[in-house]
Amino acid sequence: MTPELEKELIVGIVSSLFTALFTGIPAAALFWWTWQRDQEQLIVQKSIYRWDTESGGKVLEKDQFGPTFGIIIRNRSLFSVHVSSVGFQVDGEVIELERPLFPLKMMKNPDQGSNRPYIAADSDPREIPSQASIRVEVNDVDRPKIGAALMAAATNRGISMDDVLLNSILVVALVALETGKEFSSMTFFARIKRTLGKALLAPE
């Protein structure tokens, strides 16, 4: 192979690599953006209620069943989503709320003679618009089950019910959408920690 031919071959290979690089990256970016655009993306968090004390501190709000809490759902999708069910996983036990309390969507009254808002007949409290958020409360019907699960977890682990609730692994908020996709309040690092904990406790 002559030096001239070798030089042309190297230039051709380098040109091909640059062409593939500069056309491949935008194509990959477009594919990723399109895929992300069509995905359901929720942020789920436990909503823990606290009272201010006279000493300036905070204590968890409680009723006869223990600490009270709910779920905050933030829709980061580029479209509206519809919540099918919500619940909690308490120390491994999954409890689906039978009667979750979704916030009512108050509409602006079209009657100019009245400033009182109203609830439209076709209003769906389980629908969350894009970039919106809602807070789901626990009904009195579900409070005994949640309280009993917290008490059992606290007894089994020798800690308080407050500590059980505040633990990001022991109490996890769960949300399922109408499409079947599920989300939880457990973070990526909490999942790794739980997985490692199970691996260490597994019998040899």
Residues of the chain with pLDDT under 50: 197-204
pTM value is 0.72
Q: 199: part of which helix (H) or strand (E)?
A: helix 188-201
Transcribe 64-79 into DSSP letters: TTEE-EEEEEEE-SSS
Using CA of residue 169, residue 150, residue 147, residue 98, what is the dihedral sign? positive
Place of tokens 């580029």: 78
Tens-place pLDDT, residues 91-132: 999 999 999 999 887 666 666 555 666 566 667 889 999 999
pLDDT at 58: 84
pLDDT at 27: 57
pLDDT at 202: 43
Contact between residue 185 and residue 46 where contact means Cβ atoms under 8 Å apart: yes
Q: Are strands 93-96 and 81-90 parallel, antiparallel or unpaired?
A: antiparallel
